[in-house]
Every structure is written in C-alpha cells, then in structure tokens.
Amino acid sequence: MATHHEEEENLDEKKLHDTEDDDGEEEDQNWDDWKTDGEEEEELEGSKELFFCLFCDSVFSSCSPLFEHCASAHHFDFNAIKKTHNLDFYKCIKLINYVRSQVAENRCWSCGMTCQSKRDLQNHLHELVNFESSMLQSDDDKYLKPILQDDALLYSFAEDVEDADGDDISTDPKELVNLNQFEQISTDDESCSDRYPCRLTNPCENGGKEVASASDRANQIRDINKNYFGSYSSFGIHKEMISDKVRTDAYRQAVLENPSLLRGAVVMDVGCGTGILSLFAAQGGASRVIAVEASEKMAAVATQIAKDNGFLQSGFPRSSGQHDGVIEVVQGMVEDLDNATHIQPHSVDVLLSEWMGYCLLYESMLSSVLLARDRWLKPGGAILPDTATMFVAGFGKGGTSIPFWENVYSFNMSCIGLEEVEGAARNPIVDVIDSCDIVTPTQVLQTFDLLTMRSDQMDFTAKVELEPKSVTPTNNSTGSKPEITWCHGLVLWFETGFTERFCSEMPTNLSTSPYNPKTHWSQTILTFREPIAMASSKVTSEKPAAVGTNACPAVSVQSRISIVRAVQHRCIDISMELTGIGSDEHGSESGDALVWVYSISLSTSVTNNQETEPELIELNFG
C-alpha cells in the first residue's frame, strides 16, 4: 500500500495532468467534445472520487458528509474516536479497514455480535461501549491492506478531519475513562459540532431519500445539543452554578455533615460538570467516586481538577500531604454505561446528582438519574437528594412589569407595560419574583420520592385550589366591601430534600422559593391574559356578572396543571386550566374555564459566531 505522502504526490500529478488537458481543450474548441446529458453524467461520475459508507450503500462526494452520516445513522463517530483516543494516521487506516471487514461479515465492530443480515446489523449498531477491546482487534497490520478496492476514504480522511488545537485543557487519555463518543467540542469560534446520540428507528440501507431524512434528523439533534451540551461546556454557566450559594452549600452540607453516610462509600456523581460534588464526596471520606460526565470537554476539565487537588484515582503514589486518589471520571452518558465492566451492577452506595432544571423538570435529566439508580444503586443505598417538591401560588400586579411603566420620571408609559403583559401571556419567563407580590397561599403541586418513583411519573396532572390571602381590615373598613385582590398569574418553584432518611446527622433542604434567598433557577412565571379578581369573602352583586371580574370576584381559583415531557428532546410542555369559583348570597357558582397552554424551550443567543451562555427559558404559547 502506498504511503500517505506518496498518495499526495500521485494526486498532485493527476491534478497537474488534468490542468494541462483543460488548457489544451480551451485552445482547441470544437463540437467534437459535445456529449449528451447521460454521457456527461457518466463522465462526471468517473472523474469524481466516490466515498462509500462503512455500513450501508450510501455514496458521498467527500469525507465530511460521510462521517456525519456514519455518526447520525450508524453510531460511528470517526472524528470523535480519532480525537478522544489520539489515533495516528496508520491507526485510523486500520480502524476504517477493520470496520469494513466486520460489516462485510455482518458483525458489529463494537461488541463483536454477528447478525443474520445487513439490515439486522444496522438495527443492532449502537454507541461504542469498550473502545480498548475494539482497538485490540483492529490494531493488526493486516488491516493496513484495504478491504475495499480503491477506497478513497483511506487517503482523504486526514485532510478532512478538523484539528482541535484550540482546546485549552489537555488530559492524558489514560486518566479519562471514555465509554463512547458524544460531542467533539472545540473552543474555536467557528465550530460547535456537539452530538447527542440517538438510535434511529429506520436504518439507512442506500443513498436515497432515507439519507436525507437521517441527515435532517441529525441536524435537529445537533441543534438541540448545541444548546444543551454546548452551554454546559461554557465555564460561565459552571461559575454561575457554583456561585449559587444556596445550591452549592446545600450539597456541601449534605455530603460533609453526614459522615456516617459517606465514609468508605462508593459514590456515583451523575452529570459531574467541574466535579465539585465529587470533590465534596472524596473530601467526605468516600472510598471511590465515579464521576460521570457526557461533555467531552468538561470530563477532561473534571479530570484535571481532580488531579490538581490530589483526588484523581491513579496507580502512582501521592506526595506528602495529598489525599489518596478516589475519583474516576467517566466520559459518557449514563445511559451508555450499562456494559461497563468496571462498574458492577448494584455496587454504588450513594447516588449523587444535581439534576434539577428550570421548573424542576426542564432538561429531562431526572430520567438519567433514575436509570442510574435502578442499574447501580445497592439495595438500601442512598440517593441525594431523595425528595423533590413543586409548589404553586398566585402573584399580583407587582409580579408584572406594569408598575415600572406606570411612572417613568412622572410620565405614564403604561401602554408599554400592557403590551409586555400580553407578550408574557404568550411567552412567560423564568425570573425572580418578590415574595411581597404573592397574593395567595402556597400550594403543593407535586411531590417526588426519588428512591421509589418511576420515570413515567415525571409526567403528571395536578389540581390545586388557590384562595386570596387573608387581608386584615383597617379601622375604617367595617361594613365595607371585601378588599379585592387581582391575581395576574401563577408562579412555580421547587424544593429538593436531603432528608433524615439518609442524612440523619444533618438533614438539608434546597429551596428556590420566592420567600428564600434567590437561586440561579429563579421561578417560572405563567402570566394570565387577563387578571382575575379575587376576594376572601362573598360579594353581593346587584346583577349577574362574570366570575373573576371586579363586580363578581372569585373566592378561589381552581387550577388544573399538567407538566409532561415534550416531543422535542429535553423540553417539557405545561398546560394550565383555570376555573374561577364565585360566591353570592344565593350560593356558589362557577365561572367559565379559562385555558392556557405553554411549551417550554431553550433559547440560545449566538453573537459574532460565538455561543453565549443560555438565556432564560422561553415558554411558547401553544
């Protein structure tokens, strides 16, 4: 087989020869070279290099779309493998030829399973689990010989793979356990090629329409994860989370002030980020900490941080004064660790994770934590936190922007405030609301027991009844009409508990309530199109009036709220149905149901080709 350098020289000679031929044709133009459309297409096919997919019959004109197709349709991310495992030119050639040889025998290149047919193999293909085992098979000089005759991929891939020299963190690959390929994150401004693995239900067997469909789906997945994994590769968001004292202190207290729970325990930290919770666990006396992180960049960062602080698990002795290394960083999604031989099933004593998103369930990370619980937590093991509770209350005019615009340097600009409220009814926000603007008592919306709940219980519908807060009458208010309270919307927040069940020495509660110090989660605000009038006692109306108006205020508002995981990955849908309950001297009557439906989605700003930190969630009116 010719060397890479010789191939380049041959290509240069070919290009020079083609150029000379082109020049000759320009000097001697005549009708002898006239060709039909069919002949021209045949000549074009003959003159272009064709790149054949490693797994199916798809054909491409260059390496880039081929590798994108292999990653999205067949779970083979060549660029990520090359980068993660520092493969040189010859190991890349061996890998390509090894994969082609295995596919030719309907055998999975990753796990070695032999399938009955090509279609069965494509249905079976999965994310890489144990790369070291696959490399032992492929690192044979026999795979330097092409499996596919005139395989253009073998001498073109090196020119097509982007060099990620812009990464600031360099980590010895032996220190980082890589179980699969997720994203190839570059700190260069021009690239962001994050990829979230997704098993395609319709395998692609040819280069027809299905290839375009797979490409479209891959682009959609890439867009979603550009917001998700890309944002968590930004140090800014980690600084924001660590700087959230309510959040970080709650976890630190739960871990360090319950020594009987952590001392000598095997801990798994799901979504470790910088590794701050893993460091707490190591500091608290854990015998082993398995820090799982999907982002390739942040896994490398967490590895370096653990190493710098003397906590990284290694085989060489530590210098005086440093701790024994107990942290093992595993790069990959927890969903892909099931075949990891070094993590035995039900071997974890404590499952630790900061999984909460806006409105508690946004990002859908809880399902990953529950999966880790079922696969690796010992019977009787602990999960931190072990409870989560969602709350709801009504808020008044002060929770909107109306008061600000009513008096701007003595000028009335309330028209702007009214327009902003209309927009908020379509696009509610995640923001901090002042506790003095809460106009109803707080009600529990939903509770979760993380030790026993099922994943499908993340989707729920709950009913609550909200009444106005009791208003102390003034001296002059005897016999006057009850004071009317205007409810402009509902506000949601959550708490997570590190309860006495596991934290017997020092239970802890992490609250995002507007009555407590603010957190980076803020609260989720759902604004009504029209405010609802409420009164704590009955109001006599001279004539019939709609419940919830000034003439007939509601004594309570019945709310039916549903929160479910959306079709779009990592998003949730919120539906809200409201019924005003009125009361007059003849008894109670119900108003018409008022229905709003919202869908939560992440909004990310990109300025000058640089991805900024995630903005507040946008809840789109449906």
Q: Could you count the other beta carbons within 10 Å of the beta carbon of residue 586?
A: 9
Q: Domain residue spans in the chain?
A: 47-161, 236-315+322-354, 388-621
CATH number for the domain formed by residue range(s) 388-621: 2.70.160.11
Name the catalytic one among 127, 293, 354, 467.
Answer: 354
Q: Is the pTM of this model over 0.85?
A: no
The string of DSSP letters for 540-595 reads --SS---TTSSSS-EEEEEEEEEEEE-SSTT-EEEEEEEEEEEEETTEEEEEEEEE
Name the catalytic one among 68, 127, 183, 363.
Answer: 363
Contacts of the segment 3-7: beta carbons below 8 A, 24+ positions apart: 4/89, 4/155, 4/158, 7/155
Q: Which residues of the chain have pLDDT under 50?
A: 1-47, 161-168, 179-214, 217, 316-318, 320-321, 585-588, 599-622
Report the alpha-carbon distance of residue 532 to residue 552 in Å, rounded.
10
Catalytic residue check, 354: yes
pLDDT at 84 (0 to 100): 83
- Asked whether the domain spanning 388-621 has the same topology as the one spanning 236-315+322-354, the reply is no
Nearest to 576 by CA among 557, 556, 598: 598
Report the alpha-carbon distance of residue 546 to residue 552 in Å, rounded.
6
Q: Which helix (H) or strand (E) holds 460?
A: strand 460-466
pLDDT at 16 (0 to 100): 42
pLDDT at 175 (0 to 100): 62
Each residue of 127-145: pLDDT tens digit? 776 666 666 677 777 887 8
For the purposes of burial, counting CB atoms within 10 Å of the CB of 567, is it exposed (0-12), middle (13-18) or buried (19 or more)?
exposed
Cβ(203)–Cβ(122) below 8 Å? yes
Q: How many CA atoms lie within 13 A of 179 on its CB side?
A: 24
pLDDT at 143 (0 to 100): 82
Cα 189 to Cα 82, 161, 243, 262, distances in angstroms: 21, 17, 26, 42
Report the alpha-carbon distance of residue 118 to residue 121 in Å, rounded.
5
Dmax over CA atoms of the chain, in Å, equals 108
SS3 270: strand
pLDDT at 285 (0 to 100): 96
Catalytic residue check, 9: no
User: Position of tokens 């509610």?
Assistant: 428
236-315+322-354 belongs to which homologous superfamily? Vaccinia Virus protein VP39 (3.40.50.150)
Report the alpha-carbon distance of residue 232 to residue 602 in Å, rounded.
13
Cβ(379)–Cβ(296) below 8 Å? no
Q: Which helix (H) or strand (E) holds 63?
A: helix 63-74
Q: Which helix (H) or strand (E) holds 487?
A: strand 484-498
Each residue of 359-385: pLDDT tens digit? 999 877 899 999 999 999 999 999 999
Q: What percent of the chain has pLDDT over 90?
A: 39
